[in-house]
């Protein structure tokens, strides 16, 4: 497989094989033999892996994938799916076979999320940055050539809290009515965020940060990045967990603000599973760390192929938990996301090849917000209105003058439909000269 992945033995996860047989065989392996059953993760993938600064006041921490699955129930259109076996990271794919037409399976919370059950809050890292007994990070390596490799670092949270009125920029915040409880909108169960680091000959060349429906990208030597011991720092936004390269306030979607700070350090590499994705077959296989002493007994790849939602679908308006933001139609609770399989893991550039297309409302908000500071805020709106009115009047005057001149050109010469014989024209000409001579004489 070239420079990027060191081959120990080529073992691919067989999703369709019996899970009981796989588990029985795996239990017979020693730690050393289990390590040799997987390809080895290149050391530069962990050496240059991101370090995450969680927001100091964010109650929703990284979450264990299996615990999330165990506290949710697969449903289609809110109806429970009967006769399902126990689900885990090695069996989640089977839910793709029970989808109903265009409706996908949604892993729906067993608890009322407004009561903040403990599992939905995730786990806080210890002082070393480790999350104990949890897998909250998935690393997927995509080998583009013998010299080039993309490493995707996925971070999982059981809950995403959207913005509230304090995170809406002026003047749009005046259009949102605060219910007194600081209502957030755009909340959803399940949250996948990621960074992608591109390597050439084992050296990092660039990094991508996921941010809501889009993201940002930087060259590795960009002054905007902070590199600590060869590892880029990532600042996870309060509630939304969008990834940024620096602390402070960050504007997204033209009018919303994310807050980041260096609150709690999380080292995702201490709670991660590692995989390789074959870009041609789009098949996932397990990897192992070179110095690991606790290699897993299972491939745990089935979760990747699950195409459904990792959280509840949007609650209907009849649900007492659901609320709507006036004027904008934004909902407090929206549908949970799909997983890493839809994140365009095979891409040409740091950005996904197919970028998110903004709806016309978002374009309009973007244009308005770009004009607001210089042309609309306070007294500036009257000056801008005056300029616009004068401009319209000048344009109207120019159009009127142009039309008038055009009509004059068209009416300056008019064709005579009656034919005049040439002899008559000669006689008229002679008579004209005769009268002229008489007047002179």
State the Cα–Cα distance between residues 330 and 324, nearest whole angstrom: 6
∠138-144-149 over CA atoms, to 5°? 50
The radius of gyration computed from the CA coordinates of the chain, to the nearest angstrom, equals 34
Give 367-394 pLDDT, tens digit per residue: 655 655 565 555 455 555 666 677 787 8
pLDDT at 361: 60
Tokens 């934004």, located at residue: 330
DSSP 311-364: SPPPPPTTSTT--B-TTT--BSB-PPPP-GGGS--S-SSSS-SSPPPPPHHHHH
Model confidence at 90: pLDDT above 50: yes
Q: Which helix (H) or strand (E) holds 15?
A: none
Condensed to tens digits (0 to 9), the pLDDT of residues 240-273 reads 999 999 999 998 666 788 999 999 999 999 999 9
Least confident of 241-250, 390-399, 413-422: 413-422
188, two tokens: 């959803």
State the Cα–Cα distance between residues 241 and 190, nearest whole angstrom. 11
295-335 pLDDT, tens digit per residue, is 566 789 999 999 999 999 999 999 999 998 877 788 999 99
Structure tokens at 340: 């890493």
**Prior bond of 171 cis (ω within 30°):** yes
Beta bridge mates, 80: 75
Q: Could you tell me which residues are beta bridge partners of residue 206?
A: 198, 219
Q: Domain residue spans in the chain? A: 19-358, 380-440
pLDDT reported for residue 246: 97
Taking the C-alpha atoms of residue 204 and residue 219, their distance in angstroms, rounded to an integer, is 9
Average pLDDT, whole number, for the chain? 82
Reported confidence tier of residue 112, pLDDT bands at 50, 70, 90: very high
pLDDT at residue number 400: 80
Rounded to whole angstroms, the Cα distance separating 253 from 414 reads 61
In this prediction, residue 26 has a pLDDT band, given cuts at 50, 70 and 90, of: very low
* Coil vs helix vs strand at 186: coil
pLDDT at 422: 58
pLDDT class of 291 with cuts at 50, 70, 90: confident
pLDDT digits (tens, 9 = 90+) for 221-237: 999 999 999 999 999 99
pTM metric for this prediction: 0.77
6-10, 261-265, 434-438: which has the highest mean pLDDT? Answer: 261-265
């Amino acid at each position: 497989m070239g420079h990027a992945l060191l081959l120990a033995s080529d073992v691919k996860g067989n999703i369709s094989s019996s899970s009981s047989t796989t588990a029985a065989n795996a239990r017979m392996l020693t730690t050393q033999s289990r390590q040799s059953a997987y390809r080895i993760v290149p050391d530069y993938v962990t050496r240059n892996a991101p370090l995450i600064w969680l927001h100091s006041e964010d109650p929703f921490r990284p979450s264990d994938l299996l615990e999330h699955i165990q506290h949710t129930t697969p449903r289609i259109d809110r109806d429970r799916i009967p006769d399902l076996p126990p689900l885990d990271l090695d069996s989640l794919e089977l839910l793709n076979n029970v989808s109903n037409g265009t409706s996908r399976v949604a892993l729906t919370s067993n608890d009322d999320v407004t009561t903040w059950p403990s599992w939905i809050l995730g786990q806080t890292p210890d002082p070393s940055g480790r999350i104990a007994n949890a897998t909250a990070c998935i690393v997927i390596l995509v080998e583009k050539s013998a010299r080039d490799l993309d490493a995707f670092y996925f971070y999982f949270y059981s809950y995403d809290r959207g913005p509230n009125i304090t995170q809406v920029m002026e003047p749009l915040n005046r259009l949102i009515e605060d219910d007194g409880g600081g209502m957030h909108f755009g909340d959803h169960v399940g949250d996948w965020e990621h960074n992608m680091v591109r390597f050439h000959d084992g050296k990092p060349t660039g990094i991508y940060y996921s941010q809501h429906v889009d993201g940002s990208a930087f060259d590795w030597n960009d002054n905007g990045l902070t590199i600590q011991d060869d590892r880029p720092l990532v600042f996870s936004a309060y509630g939304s967990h969008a990834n940024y390269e620096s602390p402070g306030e960050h504007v997204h979607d033209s009018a919303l603000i994310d807050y980041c700070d260096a609150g709690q350090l999380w080292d995702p590499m201490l709670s991660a599973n590692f995989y390789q994705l074959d870009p041609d077959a789009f098949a996932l296989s397990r990897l192992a760390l070179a110095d690991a002493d606790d290699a897993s007994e299972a491939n745990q790849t089935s979760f990747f192929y699950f195409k459904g939602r990792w959280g509840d679908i949007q609650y209907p308006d009849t649900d007492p938990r659901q609320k709507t933001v006036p004027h904008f139609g934004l909902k407090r609770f929206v549908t949970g996301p799909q997983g890493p399989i839809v994140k365009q893991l095979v891409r040409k550039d740091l950005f996904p090849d197919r970028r998110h297309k903004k709806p016309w409302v978002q374009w309009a908000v973007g244009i308005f917000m770009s004009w607001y500071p210089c042309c609309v805020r306070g007294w500036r709106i009257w000056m801008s209105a005056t300029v616009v009115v004068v401009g319209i009047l000048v344009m109207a005057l120019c159009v009127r003058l142009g039309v008038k001149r055009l009509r004059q050109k068209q009416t300056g010469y008019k064709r005579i439909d009656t034919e005049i014989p040439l002899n008559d024209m000669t006689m008229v000409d002679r008579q004209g000269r005769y009268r002229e001579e008489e007047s002179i004489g």
